[in-house]
Amino acid sequence: MSDPVDRLGASDPEVDAQAEVDSQAEVADLTEVAAPVRSGGVQSLARAFALLEGIADAGGTVALSQLAERVQLPPATIHRLLRSLVDLGYVGQERSRQYSLGPRLLRLAGESSKRIGVWARPHLSEAVAQLGESVNLAVLDGDEIVYVAQVQPSTTLMRMFTEVGRRTLPHSTAVGKAILAGSSDDEVLALLHRTGMPRRTEHTVTDPDEFLRRLALTRERGYATDDGEQEVGVRCVAVAVPGAPRPMAMSLSGPTTRMDDATVERAAVVLGDVAGRLGAELGSGSSGVVFA
């Protein structure tokens, strides 16, 4: 892949079509973007973050014209801001000339996830004390699930897939389903199209229509399950963390021999209570955790 500066130095048809018409507006906008916004911040900074969020909301890659529709800014203005973001590594440009989130954001997200994990451990420990099985916290990072915290009971002897820092796709995990249940079917299908649905075990759901049917059940009952779909012999139940500033879910994992239906239903209630309090504190900002 070529250097970001070289790629952006090439003519962008969408910008060229707009540039002649907007030439005077661009000059005025150079001073406008540096003007303070009502919150006391800088408008250019607010716009740059709006672009990053717009790219993320579009699923990770987006054309300039689509981004302009999302953020309601002139393409020429967006192009100038994107040049800076690409140079800094926070945005990349694909060969298709679509824009994507850049690698430097991963470092920020990783540090944020570490802080979430440390701060959330007391909440996970509370659930472990009530349920006696391992409890995990995971977030959606791009199109992947990443586990950011885990607390195990002191008596556990079972080493499971859900280790802190482990990344996986959403379709085969309870936490992934719990998070995706908050998205529309169209958004879910778009994600599945991007990631595929690789088979992890003989129980993994690999058909999008069947996955949507199970996701509808997740929405109806308020929790998701993974019945050996990611790891043979392990059953998981998960709930989304409501009100959290980024998509996340809390899950309980245990061997199928101990995770019968009654245990799963009880765990869903306990996890729902703990996740509700966790989400309220994260959403209020009282945790002091800043999300990248």
Question: Domains of the chain by range and CATH?
Answer: 4-101 (1.10.10.10), 105-284 (3.30.450.40)
Write down the pLDDT at residue 227. 96
Helix (H) / strand (E) element for 254: namely strand 248-255
> If the chain, 292 residues long, is cut into consecutive pieces of 10 residues, what is the mean pLDDT of each piece?
43 45 36 43 83 79 86 88 90 84 71 68 92 93 90 70 83 98 95 96 97 98 96 95 90 93 97 94 58 42
φ and ψ of 96, to 5 deg: -75, -5
Task: Give the integer Cα–Cα distance in Å for 158 and 81.
Answer: 50
Write down the pLDDT at residue 119. 73
Helix (H) / strand (E) element for 234: namely strand 234-240
DSSP-based three-state secondary structure for 88: helix
Write down the pLDDT at residue 285. 55
Which residues are CB-neighbours of 134 under 8 A, at least 6 positions away?
128, 150, 151, 152, 153, 156, 160, 162, 252, 253, 254
CA neighbours closer than 13 Å in the CB half-sphere of residue 81: 25
Which residues are CB-neighbours of 77 under 8 A, at least 6 positions away?
26, 29, 33, 47
Write down the pLDDT at residue 102. 81
**What letter represents residue 241's amino acid?**
V
